[in-house]
Amino acid sequence: MTRHVPSPALARVERGQLCTGCGLCAAIAPAAITMSMVDPGYLRPQQSAALTAAQDAEIAVACPGLVIDESDQPPAPFVDPLWGPVHYVGTGHANDAALRHQASSGGVISALLMHALSTGLVDYVVQTGADPDLPTGNQTRVSTSDGDILAAAGSRYTASAPLAGLEDWLARPGRFAFVGKPCDVSALRARARHDPRINARVPVVLAFFCAGIPSTAGTRRILDRLGVDPDDVTAFRYRGDGWPGFAKATLKDGSIRQMSYADSWGDILSKEVQFRCKICPDATGNVADVACADAWEGNERGYPSFEEQAGRSLVIARTTAGAALLATAEVAGRIFIQPLETAAIAAMQPAQARRKKQILSRLAALMVTGRPWPRYRGLRLWAAAARDNPVAQARSFAGLVRRLVQGRA
Ligand SMILES: Cc1cc2nc3c(=O)[nH]c(=O)nc-3n(C[C@H](O)[C@H](O)[C@H](O)COP(=O)(O)OP(=O)(O)OC[C@H]3O[C@@H](n4cnc5c(N)ncnc54)[C@H](O)[C@@H]3O)c2cc1C
Ligand code: SF4
Ligand code: SF4
């Protein structure tokens, strides 16, 4: 077996279970790092050769398991401690009814991608869709047509490492739009500080609000509960095809087995989320040009209602480029949007509001138990914590300390 010196940056990430699975380290050191699936079903870097000191340093300043630094973001008219930089907030949907139905919420991400392609703002799109060889898995792919974008619409609640192929995407001629989880987008922006090709070649960066990446063990539990043999699955959707849509397995005989979003996400997948997501300080795509989410309507108890209905997106433009993209897409008839007060977001996204308020208490739990923690800058974590009540903060701290000490985190 070949021996090599483990990368200090990757070793710290591994010690703290801080990897998000974004794949950027594999793009920085392709001869030494590949992304592989590890138990219970997360994508993680595997190092097979020594890294140069320069590669290790490049990973250390851009890996979202080690650092999320939003302190150099361009100024925005309004910055909310919970919801980040805001040029525009609204709700809406794609005007194409088929796209709106197929997409995860209102289809705004896909409609913006189609608009960026058709106006020549970009030549292609780098996004995530179903893996043709493993219908429950993900594949990062290049889309060059509306049909490709429609085929990739819909959220896929399983691991994706869209930055692993960054050098391949940059090697293609032309400019591209990138869609990723907020941590992927943070990593891309951090890498852009040291690689000028990125800002020159990626004029559109889109993200969605993210509650975390569940393991593939979660997907297997869905199939088990549906009574489906994984080898029998020819296509698998996690949601979409309605709002929120169903987790839906198509079998070899053409039959379909499905489970509601409340059951698949609420009962199963949300309990399989990787550790790093529980201390995620930016799950709302603060450094994307546009971030989209579900514009859930709260029920009488303040919880989001998951009754099936026509899809509706929450849309936040975070940069001037993002605001321009939204405005031109609206004028072109691609999307319908109407403004929303920033203060109204919390009722649509109560879990994200709670999480942001509790990040400091969770970091404190890592510190007192001697775990490595990521360096967070420019995220307004103190201001977010100040919006929570001290009892909830204390519970969040004590709960994580207990789970860490018991090895249950
Ligand atoms: C893991 C995960 C967690 C999420 N958590 C939340 C949440 O807490 N709150 C919330 O409001 N919304 C969450 N969403 C996002 C939400 O489901 C919608 O994607 C979002 O509202 C945008 O909807 P849309 O109709 O505009 O997107 P669509 O037009 O359907 O486009 C979705 C885009 O997401 C990309 N994509 C899908 N899965 C992945 C993936 N695994 N990795 C990278 N890119 C992917 C697709 O390529 C496509 O471009 C989550 C999505 C995922 C994948
Ligand atoms: S978070 Fe991304 S860059 Fe960091 S170790 Fe994991 S895959 Fe690599
Ligand atoms: S919750 Fe945060 S760390 Fe986890 S996948 Fe989403 S953006 Fe990445």
Residue 404 lies in a domain: no
Task: Report how far ligand 1's centroid is from the alpha carbon of 366 (Å).
Answer: 29
pLDDT average per 10 residues of sequence, the chain (409 residues): 82 97 98 97 97 98 98 94 98 98 98 98 98 97 98 98 97 97 98 97 98 98 98 97 96 97 96 97 98 89 83 98 98 98 95 96 97 96 95 95 91
pLDDT at 2: 53
Nearest ligand atom owner, CA of 162: 1
Nearest ligand atom owner, CA of 214: 1
Nearest ligand atom owner, CA of 180: 1
Estimate to the nearest angstrom the gap between the alpha carbon of 111 and the chain centroid.
18
Residue 286 belongs to domain spanning: 78-214+272-348
Tell me which residues have their CB closer than 6 angstroms to ligand 3: 20, 181-183, 210, 212-213, 276-277, 280, 283
Residue 118 lies in a domain: yes
Angle formed at CA 236 by CA 233 and CA 237, multiple of 5 degrees:
165
Residue 165 lies in a domain: yes
Q: Which atom of ligand 1 is nearest to the CA of 109?
A: 26
Q: Which atom of ligand 1 is nearest to the CA of 106?
A: 25
Angle formed at CA 76 by CA 73 and CA 82, multiple of 5 degrees:
85
User: CATH no. for residue 88?
Assistant: 3.40.640
Q: Which atom of ligand 3 is nearest to the CA of 277?
A: 4
Q: Which atom of ligand 2 is nearest to the CA of 13?
A: 5
The total domain count for the chain is 1
Task: Report how far ligand 2's centroid is from the alpha carbon of 157 (Å).
Answer: 18
pLDDT at 1: 47
Q: Whose CA is nearest to atom 34 of ligand 1?
A: 155
Residue 30 lies in a domain: no
Tell me which residues have their CB closer than 6 angstroms to ligand 2: 10, 13, 19-25, 45, 59, 63-65, 187
Pocket test for ligand 1, best of 117, 126, 128, 208 (most atoms within 8 A of CB): 208
**Terminal Cα-to-Cα distance of the chain (whole angstroms):** 33
- Spatial separation of the C-alpha atoms in residues 321 and 359, rounded to whole Å: 29
pLDDT at 316: 98
316 φ, ψ to 5°? -125, 120
* 219 close to ligand 1 (CB < 6 Angstrom): no
Pocket test for ligand 2, best of 18, 44, 63 (most atoms within 8 A of CB): 63
Nearest ligand atom owner, CA of 9: 2
Confirm if 347 and 298 have CB atoms less than 8 A apart.
Answer: yes
Q: Which atom of ligand 3 is nearest to the CA of 210?
A: 6
Q: Which atom of ligand 2 is nearest to the CA of 24?
A: 3
Confirm if 86 and 40 have CB atoms less than 8 A apart.
Answer: no
Nearest ligand atom owner, CA of 64: 2
Residue found under tokens 């100024």: 75
Residue 7 lies in a domain: no
Residue 50 lies in a domain: no
Residue 145 lies in a domain: yes
CA atoms within 13 A on the CB side of 346: 12
Angle formed at CA 406 by CA 400 and CA 409, multiple of 5 degrees:
45
Q: Whose CA is nearest to atom 8 of ligand 2?
A: 25
Task: Report how far ligand 1's centroid is from the alpha carbon of 272 (Å).
Answer: 17
Q: Whose CA is nearest to atom 6 of ligand 2?
A: 19
**What number of residues does the chain have?**
409
Residue 184 lies in a domain: yes
